[in-house]
Amino acid sequence: MNNKIVIITGSPRRRGNCSRLAASFEKRLNELGCETAVYNACSFSACDWSGSGAYFNDADRSDDSEAYLELLKKDIGEAHGVVLAVPVYVYGMPAQVLAMLDKIASAVKSGEISGRKRCALISCCAQKKISVFNGIKFTYEHVVKALGWENSGELLLTSLWKRSDADKHGAADEAYAFADKFAAQDAEEKKMPVDTEGPVNGGLTVSSLINDTLPSWLFE
């Protein structure tokens, strides 16, 4: 295990808000001496299931997402942390991100990826209400818990609609500052502060939606 942090962006929009937030977050991590590896879930086809060989010759697949996925899994295996930078799409995560999480969960279950990872969520949406993030928070928090990883914080930014809004409204600066908090936090010892229904921007984390005490579904 080293100080590598894997950042997974999840928007099909090039140079969009998530890319800008992730770049700002990464810049600060690099300044702090962390190694980073950035992947875009949208380079990974949500439809690229290994079972597709039942329908057509595997060699005929039109993308190289399998090689991309192998690299991602190797990097996560070595990494200390995993950070998602994903937009709200229809009150949840984009399908490509869910597909990538499916693959990561399988790799954890099979033992291909092991070890506890510190995680964070960076997300943005166009609307102004914090409840718009409920779907993404629910998925993120439950997946992290199911994998046996640790949630070290969430940066949820509302009112970002157009492609470069993250730069215009100071959100990229929020992501930069969030990297400081992420790097400084010792996830073993610190408890997450609980946010309220107030302004979303700048919070390290907001209250968890997890209210069950069941063990992970993944290992049952």
Ligand X SMILES: Cc1cc2nc3c(=O)[nH]c(=O)nc-3n(C[C@H](O)[C@H](O)[C@H](O)COP(=O)(O)O)c2cc1C
CB 8 to ligand X: min, Å: 13
Whether 163 and 16 have beta carbons less than 8 Å apart is answered as yes
Q: Does residue 212 come out as left (phi exceeding 0), alpha (psi in the -120 to 50 range) or beta?
A: beta
Size of the site for ligand X (CB under 6 A): 18
Q: Is 205 in the site for ligand X (CB under 6 A)?
A: no
Residue of the chain from 143, 160, 171, 172 that contacts ligand X (CB under 6 A)? 160
Q: Is 126 in the site for ligand X (CB under 6 A)?
A: yes
Rounded to 5 degrees, φ, ψ at 49 are -95, 140
The CB-nearest residue to ligand X is 16
Q: Is 24 in the site for ligand X (CB under 6 A)?
A: no
In the bound state with ligand X, the residue whose beta carbon lies nearer, of 16 and 153, is: 16
Q: Is 84 in the site for ligand X (CB under 6 A)?
A: no
Q: Is 163 in the site for ligand X (CB under 6 A)?
A: yes
Residue of the chain from 11, 96, 139, 205 that contacts ligand X (CB under 6 A)? 11
CB 77 to ligand X: min, Å: 27
Residue 26 vs residues 5, 62, 110, 114, 132: alpha-carbon distances, Å: 9, 31, 29, 23, 25
Q: Tokens 């192998």 — which residue?
A: 70
DSSP-assigned letter for residue 7:
E
